[in-house]
Every structure is written in structure tokens, then in C-alpha cells.
Amino acid sequence: MTEAGSGYTTAPGVTVVDTNTDSPGEGAVATATLTDTSALGLVTHIIVEESGSGYESAPTISITGGGGSGASFTAALADTVTIAGTGIRLSLSGHQTAGGQIKLAYSVASGDDCEAKRGSITLNKSG
């Protein structure tokens, strides 16, 4: 997240677009989440629901609607590790906020027919 924006009363729409016109990736789906909308209405997270495929560079993230303004995000491609002989795949991506928090998103899957488990972790500065 580069800017949380303000004034959002509902979660804005998120559009993921690959700018690589020669061989664009496709299928990525993401949703936005807000802080308490009765307060500042800040967009706090973009959650990747589907990672899509074929992305060779980070796509562009567009935020629209929701009644607020100013939210912006920068995408990054996740690193994926397959643990040999187990069929377990781990994908991890993250960024550091302007306030110093480290935000990580992960996906873990086991085998080709297993639904991936997704989540996020936020690390705060201490002291």
C-alpha cells in the first residue's frame, strides 16, 4: 500500500491489469478492506483472492468507487517455493508501510487438488 486514502464508506473495487501487451498475465482477482468506516474510512489491505497466471512483471492495481479517494497500491510478484517430494507449495509476498509495519501475504497448498490456504501477517515495530 502506498496510500490508504480516506473517506471510504464501502470497500472500493479493485482491478488488476497486466501492462505487458506481448504476453499478458490474467485471472488475478483482489478485494479491498477498510478500517472502521465510521472513523476515517481508510483502505487497509488489498487481499489477493486469485493469483492468476502468466504475470511476468508486477501488474497495475486500480482502486475505484467506495465514496473516498486517494488510495493507491503497488503490486509485487510473489515468490513460490515447492518443497521437493511433498507437493507442498508456498507463495509469499509483502511490503513495508510508510509507518514501518511489515505486511506479508501467504498461500500454502498441498497437492494439485488441494485448495490453497491464504492469510496475512502484520509485523509492527517494537519500542
Q: What is the pLDDT of residues 103-118, one digit of tens each?
A: 777 777 776 666 677 7
Q: Using one digit for the tens of pLDDT, what is the confidence trace for 11-53?
A: 899 988 888 777 788 888 888 888 765 567 888 888 777 777 7
- Residue 103 to residues 23, 99, 115: CA-CA distances in angstroms? 29, 11, 23
**Structural domain spans, the chain:** 1-76, 78-127
Contact (CB, 8 A) for 95 and 83: no
The pLDDT of residue 78: 63
Which of 108, 70, 112 has its CA nearest to residue 89? 108
